[in-house]
Amino acid sequence: MDFSLSAEQRELKEAAAAFASAKLNQDLAEREEAGEFPLAAWGACAEFGIQGLPVPAELGGGGADILTTVLVMEALGYGCHDNGLIFSLNAQLWSLELPLVKFGTPAQQRAYLPGLIAGDLIGVHAMTEPESGRSDLAVKIRGLSHGDPATVRAEVQRHRDRHVERLDAYLANEKREFPDPSRLRGARLHQWLVLRGGIALERSLIDWYDVVLATLDKKAHR
């Protein structure tokens, strides 16, 4: 199997790095300070063909293979200093566009792919699993300057209450099942150790929620 790059692939990689260096780093510090998404840079990437690169030509994309796409994304990483932009591009390509190509219905492909490829739509990776909430909550706290503090505070309190309930359940289970940990051996010892890990994690999270709530309340009363 030949993994050597073709002349076309090398040329495209060099062009992508040069494009990223010239077009994607303007006002980076100011954008970061303001917490703004780089819409102009996103549009420039679409004009260059990034968002459509791995999408088959018959669906309006560039028809590039996976290796070529990875090479271009690597080149963008060399030339662009905005890691958030690179992460967002990759998230859209790998978690939205390609699943649409492989699993989407023709109607879904017609509805979404043209806008995603043109940069008019921005794809996101939604978290719907029950245990994804902490990461989602951290994102909301990070973006509080652009959101509703009261709503975020209520959500933090809800998460705290849930983890207090879980901690109480863990402690009750420990008291009932492992009254004397010093006498444990073998599998029972290992079970207790895992339970202690859960107890430590819940306590740590509750401490963090308390810090967040106290800080938000202090800011609200200034």
Predicted TM-score (pTM) of the model is 0.62
- CATH number assigned to the domain comprising residue 64: 1.10.540.10
Whether 219 shows a pLDDT value over 60: the answer reads: yes
- Looking at residue 5, what DSSP letter applies? P
* Spatial separation of the C-alpha atoms in residues 91 and 126, rounded to whole Å: 11
Range of the domain at 113: 7-118
CA triple 43-46-49, angle to 5 deg? 155
Would you list the DSSP string of 13-44?
A: HHHHHHHHHHHS-TTHHHHHHHT---HHHHHH
Number of domains within the chain = 2
Whether 108 shows a pLDDT value over 90: the answer reads: yes
* Spatial separation of the C-alpha atoms in residues 170 and 206, rounded to whole Å: 14
- Looking at residue 57, what DSSP letter applies? G
179 and 110 both lie in a single domain: no
Residues 6+ apart with CB under 8 A from 16: 48, 50, 71, 72, 75, 76, 79
Average pLDDT over residues 184-195: 92
In terms of pLDDT, which residue wins out, 126 or 190?
190
138 and 93 both lie in a single domain: no
Whether 51 shows a pLDDT value over 80: the answer reads: yes
- Of 93, 118, 143, which residue sits at a domain end? 118
Least confidently predicted of 4-18, 43-57, 135-149: 135-149
pLDDT in tens, 146-159: 777 888 888 899 99
11 and 95 both lie in a single domain: yes
Confidence of residue 120 (pLDDT cuts 50, 70, 90): very high
Average pLDDT over residues 120-142: 71
153 and 112 both lie in a single domain: no
Confidence of residue 41 (pLDDT cuts 50, 70, 90): very high
- Crossing angle for the helix pair 133-142 and 149-177, nearest 10 degrees? 150
pLDDT in tens, 71-93: 999 999 999 999 889 999 999 99
Whether 162 shows a pLDDT value over 70: the answer reads: yes
Residue 45 contacts residue 80 (beta carbons within 8 Å) = no
103 and 136 both lie in a single domain: no
Confirm whether 1 is domain-assigned. Answer: no
Would you state the pLDDT for residue 137? 76
